[in-house]
Chain A
Amino acid sequence: MIRIQREDFDVGAEIEKLAGGNAKVGGVAVFIGLVRDIAGGEAVRAITLEHYPGMTEKKLEEIEAEARRRWPLEATLIVHRYGELKPNDRIVLVAAASAHRDAAFEACRFLIDWLKTKAPFWKLEDKASGAQWVEARDSDDAAAAVWKKRGG
């Protein structure tokens, strides 16, 4: 399941909804992305996340479908926020539930790595020196490329 929303999410409640009632699930791996308070050595007061409604949902659904093709998963979840967020706020929740931990850990990592390079979100940082769009990182492309090579 995927969700894009302005509001915060409750991690415990989300995991309960994802795996509760399904005794085939032996493990759930979870990644939670938070807003850092520093970027390029400068304090960040807030960030604003923009996205491309329509394409975002489509890409996240594709990423989930690809994870489920590669690993035996009982359930997956991606929740991504948009709008203005403060340091330490939650940005994204990614979870993968499977009978065994290997598939859960690997799928969770895959979901966030692919999301970072394919889902159309952009971060604008509010700093003392002004507003600045975050630049994409080569390390994110490298992380996603590893999964491309492995192919599943």
Chain B
Amino acid sequence: MKILYFAWIRSKTGIAAEDVSPPPSVTDVASLIDWLKTRGAGFAEALNNPSMVRVAVNQEYVKGDHPIRPGDEIALFPPVTGG
């Protein structure tokens, strides 16, 4: 699956996009974020505060219990500040 990072979440992870193959125990957005956090200090810092992380799966906003599948595009970003 493809993971995209935006704004300060990208600054902390150090990458804008990556393809990942998480272990089978990762079945939903919440478990994906927990797994991503184990992949380095930057990831842990970026995703540490769940209230500051918005998630979109295939470009739709979802909550932590949303299931994830191998072909998904999953974006992690802070609350939006456009306009």
Interface residue ranges, A against B (CB under 8 Å): 33, 49-52, 54-55, 58, 80, 91-92, 112, 115-124, 133-136, 140
Contacts and interface: CB of A to CB of B under 8 A. Distances in A.
Contacts, number: 69
B82 A51 contact: yes
A119 B7 CA distance: 14
Interface of B: 4, 6-8, 11, 56, 59, 61, 75, 77-83
Contacts of B77: 52, 120, 122
A120 B61 CA distance: 10
Q: Which 8 A-B pairs have the closest CB atoms?
A: A121-B82, A136-B79, A122-B7, A55-B59, A116-B83, A134-B81, A133-B8, A123-B81
Nearest to B11: A133
B7 A33 contact: no
Nearest to B16: A50
Contacts of B83: 33, 80, 91-92, 112, 115-116, 119, 121, 140
Given A52-B4, A52-B6, A115 B82 contact: yes
